Chains A and B, each alone.
Chain A
């Protein structure tokens, strides 16, 4: 807005009938919608600065060469072409690892969360609350606090709890280097992530199951639904599609967000022989260890697109039939 129009609208404030149409429109807009935007402003500002701008910046930087010292140099699609054709580590380890991890932890954790929520819903309030709390509590720990636990349990010497236990049973002859052996790291990462995956989505699904009108089940049994499995497929899931979708989105985001776990467990990036290397670690490797920010940004864009793609898929599955 120029100074002139601002003066005009100030004038308009004092003498409404004499105001110019443009200023009046602005004033009318402020009167009608101004307070809504005022209420939105704080969130909107934080949202733009810390969510929208980083995504746009990642997109923009992905077309450049940028080493943080000199200004970014536009290189077109080079980063993406290199990623798809020359990045051996990405194609041989990172992408297969990410897909393996995401497929098991994502849908696996999601189905597990639904089944646990469904079983909990069959119990009276008191035990249900206690058990739900126990299942939810690992998701409150988020990595940091539990590192010491996992490191002690999977410790590579004979003092490690798992080694000691298996040695005691004579199942193994000598201590196993659980966290630094490429063949075990991925399995442990998946186990640990599943352990902590009963989060907000799980609670939403539990609440969703409990909200379903009991009369639907009675009607269902009159319509010939004879077992609990049919009941789940034909009544429970269709009646709680919105919660199922919310849970699915949370599961997808949680899966990709959990990617740092391999580095935490094995104690270094890159992980031993890239066994636990996920896309997230690849971004960090190039961005903060090699300072190839443009290339790292291209990998970020690929990751965001993967999340979006999976969420679209979930949307297809559970969108309300309207």
Chain B
């Protein structure tokens, strides 16, 4: 009896306060405060799901209805049957987006992890200076320097070039920062032991460091994915060739026409919502799959 009571008591302690193991009545107030906020955050996303599957009569319905009643795939078939005004099929934009995103994520992982390995485990004079510069660059707001960036990209002959989608996003100060902090958590002894065994830097990076920092790799993959997949600006500013533009750009043209041509507003909405859902879903799926990795990376995220 006494052991049972002490066990109950222990459970009680662990169930209230930070990171409880189970439910406790004291948590109800938090659920009550969080519930309306969560509903508010969720509504626009529920709306996009619901709107994308609405048949035309429900899109036109007055008064408008939030939830779909007779879901249909019509908006999606319409979307893929559509050609943009310049005759490029929608599937081409989607293909460009997938290709650009896959290449950028791969390249970004390579670029950031190699640099982070050097900044964390190698010894050289400028090490702390370079890391400090990167930390200042966390505050970099790319949108502020759109114009000089444009001039540089023009000089490098990257306008209308496939690589313009990929190269400008490779240096990601947040990504390098998070990975470097994560590698700091790998004991130096591991690296030193490998060096004594005669392992080269490439072997240490590839065989020891990379397998130990997979959560951080997953995190930078997600951050790069989101930045690239959702990027419509590159296509707008740096690409004139319609067949080199991305799906994100195509979605902006859909919503732009839906806003200006009054009569088409409602008809265009269904297709635009279907396209927006295609934009949003991959973000969500990838984050759900990798969220535990992201959280373990974030616990190393402190800025000292």
Binds A, one of B2-10, B85-93, B250-258: B250-258
The one of A116, A135, A260 in contact with B143, judged by C-beta atoms closer than 8 angstroms, is A260
Cβ-based interface call for A200 (8 A) = yes
The one of A50, A145, A257, A293 in contact with B251, judged by C-beta atoms closer than 8 angstroms, is A145
**Nearest-neighbor residue (CB-CB) of B21 within chain A:** A124
Docked CA distance A263–B279 (Å): 20
Whether A249 contacts B139 by the Cβ 8 Å rule is yes
Question: A160: which B residues are within 8 A, CB to CB?
Answer: 64
Cβ-based interface call for A46 (8 A) = yes
Query: Can you report 5 residue pairs joining A to B where beta carbons are below 8 Å apart?
Result: A51-B140, A120-B34, A135-B41, A242-B302, A256-B143
Binds A, one of B42-50, B76-84, B185-193: B42-50
* Chain A residues packing against B (C-beta within 8 Å): 32-33, 35-37, 39-40, 42-44, 46-47, 49-51, 53-55, 57-58, 61, 116, 119-125, 127, 129, 131-138, 140-153, 155, 158-161, 164, 168, 195, 198, 200, 203-204, 206-212, 214, 217, 240-243, 245-246, 249-250, 252-253, 256-257, 259-260, 267, 280, 283-284, 287-288, 293, 296-297, 300, 303-304, 307-308, 311, 319-320, 322
**Nearest-neighbor residue (CB-CB) of B35 within chain A:** A131
The one of A135, A148, A296 in contact with B276, judged by C-beta atoms closer than 8 angstroms, is A148
Docked CA distance A146–B51 (Å): 12
Closest approach, in angstroms, between the C-beta of A255 and any C-beta of chain B? 9
Whether B248 contacts A122 by the Cβ 8 Å rule is no
The one of B148, B223, B230, B260 in contact with A144, judged by C-beta atoms closer than 8 angstroms, is B230
Whether A257 contacts B18 by the Cβ 8 Å rule is no
Question: B125: which A residues are within 8 A, CB to CB?
Answer: 33
Whether A39 contacts B205 by the Cβ 8 Å rule is yes
Cβ-based interface call for B96 (8 A) = no
**Nearest-neighbor residue (CB-CB) of A149 within chain B:** B44
Question: A132: which B residues are within 8 A, CB to CB?
Answer: 291
The one of A36, A136, A146, A200 in contact with B118, judged by C-beta atoms closer than 8 angstroms, is A36
Whether B148 contacts A57 by the Cβ 8 Å rule is yes
Report whether over half of chain B's contact residues are helix, strand or loop; otherwise say mixed: helix
Question: A49: which B residues are within 8 A, CB to CB?
Answer: 152, 156, 167
Whether B18 contacts A136 by the Cβ 8 Å rule is no
The one of B38, B117, B251, B256 in contact with A267, judged by C-beta atoms closer than 8 angstroms, is B256
B266-304 CB mask vs A (1 if < 8 Å, else 0) is 100100110110011001100110011011101101111
Closest approach, in angstroms, between the C-beta of A109 and any C-beta of chain B? 13
Docked CA distance A322–B15 (Å): 35
**Nearest-neighbor residue (CB-CB) of B114 within chain A:** A39
- Beyond known contacts A152-B273, A283-B147: 11 more, CB 8 A cutoff: A39-B205, A50-B152, A57-B145, A124-B23, A140-B226, A141-B45, A147-B251, A149-B276, A151-B255, A155-B265, A267-B259
The one of A43, A149, A151 in contact with B171, judged by C-beta atoms closer than 8 angstroms, is A43
Considering the complex of A and B, which 8 residue pairs feature the smallest CB-CB distances, nearest first? A242-B302, A43-B115, A57-B148, A36-B122, A207-B298, A39-B118, A46-B171, A54-B145
Whether B30 contacts A256 by the Cβ 8 Å rule is no
The one of B15, B118, B140 in contact with A55, judged by C-beta atoms closer than 8 angstroms, is B140
Question: B244: which A residues are within 8 A, CB to CB?
Answer: none
Given contacts A42-B115, A140-B283, A257-B143, whether A57 and B22 have CB atoms under 8 Å apart is no
Given contacts A121-B18, A149-B47, whether A140 and B284 have CB atoms under 8 Å apart is yes
Question: A242: which B residues are within 8 A, CB to CB?
Answer: 301-304
Question: B264: which A residues are within 8 A, CB to CB?
Answer: none
Given contacts A42-B114, A242-B303, whether A51 and B171 have CB atoms under 8 Å apart is yes
The one of B41, B66, B114 in contact with A134, judged by C-beta atoms closer than 8 angstroms, is B41
**Nearest-neighbor residue (CB-CB) of B270 within chain A:** A148
**Nearest-neighbor residue (CB-CB) of A246 within chain B:** B303
Whether B148 contacts A209 by the Cβ 8 Å rule is no
Whether A297 contacts B139 by the Cβ 8 Å rule is no
Docked CA distance A256–B127 (Å): 30
Whether B141 contacts A50 by the Cβ 8 Å rule is no
